[in-house]
Amino acid sequence: MRRFAAPLLLALALTPGAVSAHGEAPRAAHGGLMQEAQELWVELVVKGADVAVYVVDHDRKPVPATQISGTATVLVGGQSYKVELSAAGSEGVQGKLPAPVTGGVVAIVALKVGGKAVSARFTGKA
């Protein structure tokens, strides 16, 4: 019986998404896509050529924009564009694509939140 304990624990530890310490994703306050990323929740909103990213902490409170910086790499019409994100109001960061997104979104967001590296991958309608 003991010889099965270690492989079972290893398998459970390596199973992605089996158990989330933070429960279900919070409601997307800005109508975007939500993704859990390094103990935070990241929301991506893409409307036309505008890209906005919002971050909430594990208590589901917004992280101030002054603590967020980074980039979003967005696939538009088979072309990949890297967008620098800068503060947009008090809660989010934003940037602008050279071409509008129509249909689904494929994006990778790489952020520094309070000095900590955070990344998330998004696919879907944002």
Is the per-residue pLDDT at 29 higher than 50? yes
Confirm if 60 and 39 have CB atoms less than 8 A apart: no
Statement: residue 13 has pLDDT above 50: no
**What is the model's pLDDT at position 114?**
92
55-96 pLDDT, tens digit per residue, is 999 899 999 999 999 999 999 888 999 999 999 888 899 999
Q: Which residues, 6 or more positions from 15, have their beta carbon under 8 angstroms from its beta carbon? A: none
Whole-model pTM: value is 0.79
Two structure tokens written together for 73: 């790499």
- For residues 52 and 45, give the distance between their C-alpha atoms in angstroms, rounded to a whole number: 5
pLDDT attached to residue 23: 66
Q: How many angstroms separate the CA atoms of 2 and 17, rounded?
A: 26
Backbone φ, ψ for residue 20 (5° rounding): -100, 130
Backbone φ and ψ for 10, nearest 5 degrees, come out as -65, -45
DSSP run (H or E) holding 112: strand 105-113
What's the pLDDT at 76?
87
Dihedral pair phi/psi, residue 96, rounded to 5° = -130, 135
Percent of the chain with pLDDT over 70: 81
